[in-house]
Amino acid sequence: MATETPPADAEPEVTAAVTDEQPDDPADAALADALERVAHGAVVSIPSMLLERGLALAFAAVLTNGFSAAAYGVFVLARRIQGFLLSLALGCRSGLSRYLPTADPRTERDLVATFGSLLVVGVAALFGAALYLLAPRITALANEGARFETFLRLFAVGLPATAWLWAATELLRGLEEVGPLNLALRVGFPVGQLLVAVAGLVLADLATVAAGVWAVAGLVGTAVAVWLGRERGLRPRLRGPDARRLHARYVRYTAPLFAGSIATTVQRLGFYPLIAVFLSSVAGGVFAVGVLVGMLVRLPLMGVNQLMPPVAAALHDDDERVALKRLYHATSRLVLVGVTALAVPVVVYRESVMALFGPTFVQYAPLLPAFILAQFFACAAGSVGILLMMTDHQRALLVVNTVITAVLVVTAIPLTVEFGLAGVVGSYLLMLSLNNGLEVAVLYRLEGLQPLTRAHAKPLVAAVPLAAIALAAQSLVGGTAGVLVGTGLGLAAYAVALLWLGFDPVERRLLGTLAARYREAV
C-alpha cells in the first residue's frame, strides 16, 4: 500500500520514529505502512475534529442562550427528525469508501463515484418529499404547534442538499483526500453553520437558521465536487463497458448496509421521535445537548475512524490478517487512552459544562454522566463496526443492528413512559453498551479479532489520579478556576501515570510517527 512521502528535510525524523522498533517480518512491514497512513490522517483529522466539535458546541450554545429552551427544543427535534431520514439515505454511501480506494482511475472510479452519489441524493430527495407532505400529521402526533411544522418543512426541503454534502465528503474519504475532507466537513460547514446561527440570533428568527444550515451544506458540497473535478479529474459518468457490473456490485454491497442503517438510525436517532410523542420540547433540547457533549468523549475514536476504512479494507484485501490484528489492538488501546482523558473531567465538572447552555440545562446535569458512560462503552472496543464492514461482514452487522433495535423498541417506550427523560437516557446507555458488546463478539467469531489486551487496564489505572485531582480542585478551589486547575493538573498526572505504566512497541511506533508528522507540519 502506497504512502505519502514526506519532504526530504523531515525524512530522518520520520524514519527514526517509525523504524526504531520495527521488526523485519512481513506482517509488521504491512502494519508499519498502515500505521503511517493512520498517523498521516490523524495529524490533520484530530485538530480539525477538535475544532469541529468546538464549533458544534458554540452553535448549540448560541441557540440555547439566544432563544428559550423550549424554542431550541422544537428546532432540534425537527432537525433530528430530518437527521433520522438523512441517516437512512446515507446508508447508500458505504460503497464509496469501500470501492473508491481500489477503483481503476481510468475505467471504474468515475462510475462508482457518480452512481453512489446519485443514489444517496436520490433517496434523500424521496425522503424529503415524504417528510414535507407528512409534516402536518407529524406535528399533530407530537402535539406541537405551527412553528414545529414550519421547521419540519424547511428541513424537508433541505434534505437533498444535506445529503449532497455527505456524499461529496465521502468521495474525499474514499479517495483519501484527508486535508480537503477535514476542511470541508470539519471546518467549512461548522463555521458556516455558526455564522447562520449568529444571523438568526440577530434577526431573532430560528427559521432563518433552519434554512441557512442546509443552504451552507449544499454550497460546501458543491465546492467539494468542483475541487474533485479540478484536482482529481473526477467526472460524472454513468455509462461504460463495465457500468452494469459495477453498479450491481455496488448495490449488492450497499443493500444490506442500507437495510442495516434502518436499525442503526433507530438506535441513534429514534429517541427524538420518542421524545416528541411522549415528552416535551425542552426534554428534546436537553437530550440533544447531552448527546452533543457526550460526542466529545468519542473524538479519539472518530479521529481513528476517518482513516480506518481504506486501511482496513486494503489489509483485508491483501490477506494481512496479523497486521490487521496488530493495528486493531494498537488503535483500540490508544482510543481508550483518549476517551478516558476526556470522560473524567466532563463527569466531574458536569454542572459547569451544562451551564454553558443556559440555566435551564443545569438542573439536568445529573443525567450527563449517563451520556458520557454510554459513549465510553461505545468507544472501548475501537473501530469494531468499521472492521466488520471492511472485512465484508455487512450482513452480520445487519443482524447485530436488527437485534439491538428490537431490544431498544421493546424497552425504550416503557422506560420513557415510566421514568420520562431519565428513562430515555437509560435506554440510550443500554443501547450503546449492548450494541458494542455484540459487535465485538461477532467480529471475534467471524474474523478472530478482538480488541482487549492487558494493556487496556492502564488508562483505567491512570484515571485514578486524574479523578482525584479533579475532585479535589472542585472542592478546594471551585468555580471556573477549579475547573481549569483540576483539568490541567489532572491531565498532567494522567500523562505521567501512563508514561510510568509504559506503552508497547506498536503504540510507541504510532505515537512516534504522529509526533514526527506534527514536527514536520510545524
Three-class SS string for 308-361?
Answer: HHHHHHHHHHCCCHHHHHHHHHHHHHHHHHHHHHHHHHHHHCHHHHHHCCCHHH
Q: Among 17-31, 94-108, 404-418, 419-433, which is the least confidently predicted range?
A: 17-31
Over 90: is that where the pLDDT of 95 sits?
Answer: no
Please provide residue 498's backbone torsions phi and psi, each rounded to the nearest 5 degrees.
Answer: -65, -40
- DSSP letter at 455? G
> Average of pLDDT values for 84-109?
81
Q: Which residues contact 384 (CB under 8 A, 6 or more apart)?
A: 436, 439, 440, 443, 451
Q: How many CB atoms lie within 10 A of CB 219?
A: 16
Q: Which residues contact 248 (CB under 8 A, 6 or more apart)?
A: none
What is the structure's pLDDT at 251? 84
User: How many Å apart are CA 346 and CA 299, to the nearest integer?
Assistant: 13
**Phi-psi map region of 141: left, alpha, beta (phi>0 left; psi -120 to 50 alpha):** alpha
Percent of the chain with pLDDT over 90: 44
What is the structure's pLDDT at 2? 36
Over 90: is that where the pLDDT of 519 sits?
Answer: no
Q: Among 30-39, 150-159, 177-186, 303-312, which is the least confidently predicted range?
A: 30-39
Over 70: is that where the pLDDT of 522 sits?
Answer: no
Do 480 and 327 touch, CB atoms closer than 8 A?
Answer: no
What is the structure's pLDDT at 22? 44
The type of residue at 459 is: P
User: How many Å apart are CA 6 and CA 516, to the nearest integer?
Assistant: 10
- DSSP letter at 11? H
Question: What confidence tens digit (pLDDT) does each residue in 384-419 have?
Answer: 888 887 777 777 877 888 888 888 888 999 999 999
Band of the pLDDT at 21, cuts 50, 70, 90?
very low
Query: Element (H or E) spanning 501, and its range?
Result: helix 479-501
User: How many Å apart are CA 170 and CA 120, to the nearest integer?
Assistant: 11
Over 60: is that where the pLDDT of 3 sits?
Answer: no
Over 90: is that where the pLDDT of 236 sits?
Answer: no
Q: Provide DSSP, 281-298.
A: HHHHHHHHHHHHHHHHHT
> Average of pLDDT values for 62-84?
94
Over 70: is that where the pLDDT of 17 sits?
Answer: no
Band of the pLDDT at 234, cuts 50, 70, 90?
confident
- DSSP letter at 13? H
Q: Provide DSSP, 22-80.
A: ---SHHHHHHHHHHHHHHHHHHHHHHHHHHHHHHHHHHHHHHHHHS-HHHHHHHHHHHH
User: How many Å apart are CA 431 and CA 207, to the nearest integer?
Assistant: 33
Do 486 and 349 touch, CB atoms closer than 8 A?
Answer: yes
Question: What confidence tens digit (pLDDT) does each residue in 341-375 have?
Answer: 999 999 999 999 999 999 999 999 999 999 999 99
Cell numbers for 255: 443493500
Q: How many CB atoms lie within 10 A of CB 25?
A: 11
Band of the pLDDT at 424, cuts 50, 70, 90?
very high
- DSSP letter at 383? S
What is the structure's pLDDT at 247? 77
What is the structure's pLDDT at 200? 94
Q: How many C-alpha atoms does 378 have within 13 Å on its Cβ side?
A: 25
Over 80: is that where the pLDDT of 518 sits?
Answer: no
The type of residue at 488 is: G
User: How many Å apart are CA 51 and CA 187, to the nearest integer?
Assistant: 7
How many degrees, rounded to 5, is the angle at CA 234 between CA 233 and CA 240? 115
Q: How many CB atoms lie within 10 A of CB 79?
A: 24
Do 165 and 217 touch, CB atoms closer than 8 A?
Answer: yes
> Average of pLDDT values for 234-263?
79
Question: What confidence tens digit (pLDDT) does each residue in 99-151 have?
Answer: 787 767 777 788 888 888 999 999 999 999 999 999 999 999 988 888 999 99
Place of cell 509526533: 515
pLDDT higher for 25 or 332? 332
CA 215 and chain centroid, separation: 22
Sign of the alpha-carbon torsion through 506, 507, 509, 510 = positive
What is the structure's pLDDT at 39? 57
Percent of the chain with pLDDT over 70: 87
Q: Provide DSSP, 79-147.
A: HHHHHHHHHHHGGG-HHHHHHGGGS-TTTTHHHHHHHHHHHHHHHHHHHHHHHHHHHHHHHHHHT--HH
Q: Which residues contact 455 (CB under 8 A, 6 or more apart)?
A: 333, 503, 504, 507
Place of cell 437527521: 83
Q: Among 276-285, 378-387, 499-508, which is the least confidently predicted range?
A: 499-508
What is the structure's pLDDT at 105? 72
Do 461 and 493 touch, CB atoms closer than 8 A?
Answer: no
User: How many Å apart are CA 190 and CA 203, to the nearest integer?
Assistant: 20
User: How many Å apart are CA 439 and CA 442, to the nearest integer?
Assistant: 5
Do 91 and 162 touch, CB atoms closer than 8 A?
Answer: no
Domain boundaries, the chain: 20-521
The type of residue at 344 is: V
Mean pLDDT, the chain, as a whole number?
84
What is the structure's pLDDT at 7? 34
Q: Among 12-16, 445-449, 506-510, which is the least confidently predicted range?
A: 12-16
